[in-house]
A and B are shown apart, each in its own frame.
Chain A
């Protein structure tokens, strides 16, 4: 049942994640005994591995952590020391709450800044400075600065997704690739749209990192730590597969697998059904809202441009007006309109950077959430498949009883034991992922409420500011208009 993971980058190996247990012959070989800390074999995302270590207590500040960073390990393979973290999640709900409280008071600030173009022409790329300020002890320093490029972020996300999504963790998606946007930047167009594009990306990358570290499991992940702290990062390969869309495709394969399941999952827990429906509805409405907000941004920008044009025209009219007082008033009107144009521009930016981007982020996040639900169904499917297999092995053994082939009989009995183990694991995995999802969704909803509240309040305050400015401008103009004699 274990998944083979060499480098996370190859799409073909991504396929392995979703291959059903029956199809991978090697899987049969791994049993509980193999999964001791000393073995060479452990794969970071092998659920067996993690659960087997459940009894081992290793503190979070364990020195075992250090070797990870200095050895420069292959991105996807993370050694055993991860298990204590999983252990934490395995404990009683009381501890979960305590951890969640810690989440609210955690002290880490991440900023992405100073985009710099490196290189020329089509091989050029943008490099961003990632600054982490924190008092958390898992970090080696209080303040770290590193330089990262966009594909590094994608690489990080891909590693995290492949490690955690199948356990039911909601891994925040990375920002989307944009061929058009990047080409303009590469080609060296210094115009407004490339500047906006880079700023939009910088902001998105910052939000991505903040969301990632908000998740306690991800915060302590060595890959995340390496990303934030290590000055050199092995170049993520094959970023085609690493694109946000690539990961989503990977996630969707789970959905496909679910659809192919012969036995439809009998949902004994109404909570999951309810939640899935809610997220589906939320998806529809958020997308709709996103479209409307994008339209608003567009129209406000248009309004800003047209106001500027009108202002110029009014100024010209004022110039040609031969009544002095009216001429002056018209010029004042032109000035007011110019100031209002600026207001509209700022408001359009607020519309965009506050609301539109938030909605875009959440549309992608919800895809990840739904992906996690699909993973659960996949896990259930695997468990069912294991049960079927066990039954078949039992039947085969029963038949062999009368065939007097002792080696074959022994083999059949061995296989039965093996599959009994797999059924047990399957059930445990299913219960584990169900628990994880409940907790993740609870946390996700909490964050969602906070995010939307904060952003919308900020947005309303920006609207308040706009109106206050408008009042100022028109109050200044009114006496000028009245002065026309």
Chain B
């Protein structure tokens, strides 16, 4: 029981740090509140979809920016819009902010600026993915040890 409490404590602390560091915002908390006994892994499932989206969009943008015959900034803008939308829906605040910064360089059709932004975006995405996977691992450990995941109220 002590071990479970330790894990739960760790989970709560780690969750708080994600908020403090701005990795996730209130929307993430809102999604947490939707979890219950019937769908205990809802946030994890949404996060998986988000990771898929992110990887696809970042990849598409990298390819678009590499086009020697001219960059299709309209396509880049469309990718940014989609990524901004889904990061906002899951509460991935730093990824969302990176998208907002990216948009201004895309609007200005500044290829160099876009390449820098894409790098920044990839960095924020990796950070988010690592941190969330750590959090989800903690969740799984708690459940495996017979405990329940501390719920937000």
Tell whether A pairs with B. Answer: no
